[in-house]
Amino acid sequence: MTIDAHTGVPAGSSALEAETQRVGHSIAGALPPAARHPIQALDGKAMQLASADQELKAALFRFVDVVPACRSMDDLARHLTGFLHEVKHPPAPLSVAMRMADSRAGRAALGAAAAAGVRHMAHRFIVGEDPRAALPVLRDAWKRGVAPSVDLLGEATVTPREADDYASRCAEALTTLTAATAQWPTRPRLEGDSHGVIPRANLSVKISALTPLLRPHAPERGQADAAERLRPLLRQAREAGAHLHIDSESLDTRDAVLDLALRLLAEPEFAAGPSAGIVLQAYLRDSPQMLHRVLNWARDAGKSRAQPLTVRLVKGAYWDHEMVQARQHGWEVPVFDAKADCDANFEDLTRRLIDANGLVRVAVASHNLRSLAHAVAYNRLRGGTDADLELQVLKGLGDGLAEALAGCELRVRAYCPVGDLVAGMAYLVRRLLENTANDSFLHDQAAGVPLDDLLSAPTPSHVLAGRP
């Protein structure tokens, strides 16, 4: 097959588009009926209600954010009704709830209902308070053909003790996961590719939680401090045969995190392992340059490692944060502000990663059916096997999609957050924002957009504007 040297797309891109459509329809045909998930169907209706009114959406998310600080049911009810009073035209069910707050008994009932609702939503996305509590969910996913990756919730720490506690939680999680996963049934599709064995135990960690000293304009001190906690985790993962994935967060720490990860993984001590990975965020305009840097590292420093670096390609979960911060400081906006531009960049990065499969392991993380179908189609047209491409979804958002991918005998992994409600609140709000965004695939799918439209190729804004 002739490959375009610049884009990596097979000559005659109509072949790629046709295969993308075929794969997309195949995956869509394997999606479970909504009736099989009645609770999620109810959740979906609630999400649609929230996303239909931006004032309501903002009020509800502000409420979710303050839930951990509330000390009583009365306090919960007062906060909820206080936020809802800012909505000019609340839906009928919420108008009834607001009237309940006029009496003490009503506030108690409203507070209890609100607390239960937030707990239910949190448990949809957060699979357990700790790895041991999450094991039944993780094992069930594995039995259904979906490999889990555990994400220990906990964002930036402010004291060395908090960083030590997070590192201890990571070490305990590795111990728990390696012991438990050794007892799981064999799943050949999830346990190997052309590079060799894929570890069953898979843990994601955040550098910002491993040090309180990470500063964008003076990263060296924070990197050195985080390294003192990350090296023991890398050693433990190597000895246990586990995979350790280093997450990306907001742009202000992105470079420092990537620098630290690549530097430590290139140390001779870690040449034999562990299996490890980093994250590439496609919503950042400079992500192509970041991928170029990672691939150069893989060709140079990374070539001495026994297992190739795993690159998890994501759209990105900090869009609102990056937009607000850039506008506050008068900076150039670092993220694509048009969804089609981000989707097109995601597909371009996907092709570049698959072209580099001999250097890195490729993990494509998305809930966009088009994005996943494009990855599978391009990998097949390039002559790759399905085993060499991992598709990833988020627990709670992509459950049906994971089931469909596994049913199509594709290698799929679910990203499973673990932690308490307070630690997970920022994560929960980001997931709710993602699920209710008016331009998201999940929103369009729930709204009944035709499948052919959902699978259509993204048209970048410069093409729409008529520019070359």
pLDDT of residue 122: 65
Indicate the angle between helix axes 54-66 and 38-51, nearest 10 degrees. Answer: 120
Average pLDDT estimate for 375-399: 94
Lookup result for tokens 């060709």:
299
pTM for the model? 0.82
**Single-letter code of the amino acid located at 289:** Q
Which range among 13-17, 68-72, 116-120, 392-396 shows the weakest confidence by mean pLDDT?
116-120
Q: Is the pLDDT of residue 415 over 70?
A: yes
Would you say residue 97 has pLDDT above 70?
Answer: no
Tokens of 382: 């390039």
pLDDT band at 436, cuts 50/70/90? low
Domains defined for the chain, CATH in brackets: 13-30+129-464 (3.20.20.220), 37-123 (no CATH)
Decide which of 81 and 373 is more confident.
373
3-state helix, strand, coil in the chain (%, to 5): 60, 10, 30
Q: What is the pLDDT of residues 10-68, one digit of tens each?
A: 544 799 999 999 999 999 999 988 644 444 554 555 555 555 555 555 555 565 556 65
Provide the 8-state DSSP code for 307: S
Contacts of 196 (CB under 8 A, 6+ apart): 307
Banded model confidence at residue 86, pLDDT cuts 50, 70, 90: low
Q: What is the three-class DSSP state of 186?
A: coil
pLDDT digits (tens, 9 = 90+) for 280-292: 999 899 999 999 9
